[in-house]
């Protein structure tokens, strides 16, 4: 029995070495895949197949070691937002409403999980609130929900200029509504602040 012990130890050491090497390769592979998929997502956000490579080892060991689970979930929630076609000006049908409801659920879960992407997800939740059809909620409730989401986004990340722009647009919208209700005219700079419009403008100006 003792004669076979060194052989067993060598074999165990070799196996551990191979597993360690594979794990290191998986971590590098997953990290590179995430970065590459991020770049492709920015160009084509509604294509599937992003962030699915979990490496060679089972149970996504490399991704787990990298601690990328929540980050991947946050990315998928953001993609769910774009799959719901927030820029589509048409009145949403049942399928589009279901997609937006799913996006809201995943974004809310991602925001609750915290992390560096929580501010982004809170901002997108505000945008989705503004897209609520008028027949499904009171306008004032929609605006309050959107404003609260934009404020959370700013608290989470004070450098989030998109959330700041969106909150400012919502506040101007509220002021314009109040002025019209009192018989006054719209406020200066009203252009671009129609319901939900500012929240979907170009990058750097809220979205």
Average pLDDT over residues 141-150: 92
Give the CA-trace dihedral at 130, 131, 137, 143, to 10 degrees.
Answer: 10
The pLDDT score that the predictor gives to residue 174 is 83
Give the model's pLDDT for residue 68.
55
* Strand stretches in 79-126, DSSP E: none
* More confident of the two residues 159 and 44: 159
Closest by CA to 153, choosing from 69, 176, 145, 76, is 145
Does pLDDT of 9 surpass 50? no
- What per-residue confidence (pLDDT) applies to 79? 93
User: Which 3 state secondary structure label does DSSP give 87?
Assistant: coil
Q: For residue 119, what are its two tokens? A: 């501010």
pLDDT at 3 (0 to 100): 54
Give tens-digit pLDDT for 47-58.
888 777 665 555
Burial of 55 (C-beta count, 10 Å sphere; 0-12/13-18/19+): buried
Instruction: Give residue for tokens 């160009």.
Output: 43
Q: What is the pTM of this model?
A: 0.69
pLDDT at residue 7, as a whole number: 46
Tell me the pLDDT band of 39, cut-offs 50, 70 and 90. Answer: confident
Longest dimension (CA), the chain: 98
Q: pLDDT digits over 93-138, tens only?
A: 899 999 999 999 999 999 999 888 999 999 999 999 998 877 766 8
Banded model confidence at residue 193, pLDDT cuts 50, 70, 90: very low
* pLDDT bracket for residue 35 (50, 70, 90): confident
Q: With a cut of 80, say whether residue 206 has pLDDT above it.
A: no
Contacts of 162 (CB under 8 A, 6+ apart): 123, 153, 203, 204, 205, 206, 207
Q: What is the pLDDT of residue 12?
A: 56
Q: Are 81 and 107 in contact (CB under 8 A)?
A: yes
Q: How far is 123 from 163, CA to CA, in rounded Å?
A: 6
Q: For all residues of the chain together, what is the average pLDDT?
A: 74
């Amino acid at each position: 029995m003792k004669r076979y012990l060194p052989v067993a130890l060598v074999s165990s050491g070799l196996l551990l070495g191979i597993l360690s090497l594979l794990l290191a390769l998986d971590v590098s592979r997953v990290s590179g895949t995430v970065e590459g998929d991020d770049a492709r997502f920015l160009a084509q956000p509604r294509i599937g197949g992003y962030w699915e490579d979990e490496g060679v080892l089972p149970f996504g060991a490399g991704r787990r070691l990298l601690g990328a689970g929540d980050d991947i979930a946050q990315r998928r929630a953001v993609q769910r937002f774009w799959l719901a076609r927030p820029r589509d000006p048409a009145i949403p049908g049942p399928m589009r409403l279901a997609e937006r409801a799913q996006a809201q659920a995943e974004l809310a879960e991602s925001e609750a999980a915290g992390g560096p992407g929580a501010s982004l997800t809170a901002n997108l939740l505000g945008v989705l609130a503004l897209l609520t059809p008028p027949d499904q909620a009171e306008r004032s409730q929609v605006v309050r929900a959107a404003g609260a989401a934009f404020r959370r986004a700013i608290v989470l990340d004070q450098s989030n200029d998109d959330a700041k722009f969106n909150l400012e647009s919502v506040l101007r919208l509220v002021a314009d509504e109040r002025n019209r209700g009192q018989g006054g005219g719209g406020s200066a700079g009203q252009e671009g602040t129609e319901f939900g419009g500012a929240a979907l403008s170009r990058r750097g100006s809220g979205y």
